C-alpha cells in the first residue's frame, strides 16, 4: 500500500470502527504515503496501528483479507472502470430509494384521504343539524379537522399557514409518513368517538394521547425505513 487516499480511507474506517486503533502511527503513514521510497505491507499496517479492517495470514492457507468497505476502496483504486460502476450504482439506488419514499408518502396520503370520508360521514350524521347552511357545515368540518390537527401536530391549519406564509398546500401536505399513518388512525378513532357522543374537548385529550403513543411506537420501529425495503 502506498496510495495516500487509500491509506486515508482505511485509516478513517478504522477510526470509525476500531476504538483501539493507533491514530498516531496512522498519521505517520499518511504523511509518508505518496513518496517513491514509501511502501506499507498489510502486516506492518496491522501490527503498527492495531487495525481490524484488514487481516493478513502467512503460510499455506494464508492470505490477505479486508472488510468489504476497504476491499471496495482497493478495487476502485485499481480499476477506474469499477469505481465508475460503483458511482453509477450508488446514484441508481438513491434515485430508487427516493421514488419509493415518494410512493409510500402518496400511499399514506391516499389512505388518509379515504379515511377522511369516514370521518366526515360521522360528523355529518352526528354533529350537523339538518337545517345547517353550507357555510355552517363547512365550519363544523373545519373545526373537526383542526381537532385532529391539534391532536397530532399541536396547531390548527390557520396557525400553520401563519407560521409558513411561503409554503403552498396545508399542514398535512408536509407531514411525515409516520404522521400520516397516525392521522389515518385518529380519523377512524374520532369517527367512533363522535358516534358515541363524546364531547370535543374530551375527544381532543384522548386523540392527543393516542397520537403521542402511536408516534413513539412508529419512530422506535423505524417505520419509514421499513417501508422503503423491497
Tens digit of each residue's pLDDT (9 = 90 or more) over 78-136 = 888 888 888 888 788 877 777 666 666 666 666 566 555 655 666 566 544 455 455 44
CA distance 79 to 84: 9
pLDDT tens for 168-185 read 888 888 888 788 888 888
Residue with the bigger pLDDT between 193 and 125: it is 193
Neighbours of 12 (CB within 10 A): 11
Q: Which of 121, 130, 227 is nearest to 177 (CA)?
A: 227
The C-alpha cell at 193 is 368517538
For 197, phi then psi, to 5°, come to 85, 20
pLDDT tens for 143-164 read 888 888 888 888 888 899 999 9
The whole-number pLDDT of residue 230 equals: 47
Q: Residue range 202-210: average pLDDT?
A: 90
The whole-number pLDDT of residue 104 equals: 61
pLDDT tens for 37-77 read 788 888 899 999 999 999 988 877 788 888 888 888 888 87
Contacts of 83 (CB under 8 A, 6+ apart): 75, 76, 77
- Assess whether pLDDT exceeds 50 at residue 194: yes
The whole-number pLDDT of residue 128 equals: 43
- Assess whether pLDDT exceeds 60 at residue 167: yes
The whole-number pLDDT of residue 135 equals: 45
pTM beyond cutoff 0.85? no
* Whether 222 contacts 178, CB under 8 Å: no
The C-alpha cell at 211 is 397520537
What band does 225 get if pLDDT is binned at 50, 70 and 90?
A: low
- Percent of the chain's residues with pLDDT above 70: 76
Amino acid at each position: 500500500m502506498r496510495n495516500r487516499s487509500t491509506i486515508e480511507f482505511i485509516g478513517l474506517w478504522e477510526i470509525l470502527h476500531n476504538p483501539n486503533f493507533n491514530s498516531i502511527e496512522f498519521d505517520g503513514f499518511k504523511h509518508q504515503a505518496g513518496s517513491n521510497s514509501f511502501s506499507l505491507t498489510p502486516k506492518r499496517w496491522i501490527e503498527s496501528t492495531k487495525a481490524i479492517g484488514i487481516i493478513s495470514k502467512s503460510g499455506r492457507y494464508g492470505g490477505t483479507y479486508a472488510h468489504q468497505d476497504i476491499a471496495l476502496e482497493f478495487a476502485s483504486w485499481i480499476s477506474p472502470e469499477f469505481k465508475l460502476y460503483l458511482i453509477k450504482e450508488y446514484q441508481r439506488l438513491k434515485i430508487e430509494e427516493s421514488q419509493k419514499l415518494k410512493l409510500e408518502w402518496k400511499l399514506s396520503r391516499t389512505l388518509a384521504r379515504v379515511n377522511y370520508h369516514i370521518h366526515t360521514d360521522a360528523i355529518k350524521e352526528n354533529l350537523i343539524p339538518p337545517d345547517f347552511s353550507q357555510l355552517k357545515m363547512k365550519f363544523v368540518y373545519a373545526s373537526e379537522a383542526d381537532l385532529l390537527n391539534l391532536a397530532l401536530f399541536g396547531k390548527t391549519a390557520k396557525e400553520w399557514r401563519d407560521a409558513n406564509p411561503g409554503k403552498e398546500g396545508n399542514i398535512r401536505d408536509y407531514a411525515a409518513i409516520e404522521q400520516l399513518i397516525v392521522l389515518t388512525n385518529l380519523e377512524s378513532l374520532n369517527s367512533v368517538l363522535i358516534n358515541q357522543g363524546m364531547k370535543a374537548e374530551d375527544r381532543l385529550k384522548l386523540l392527543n394521547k393516542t397520537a403521542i403513543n402511536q408516534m413513539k411506537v412508529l419512530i422506535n420501529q423505524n417505520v419509514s425505513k421499513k417501508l422503503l425495503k423491497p
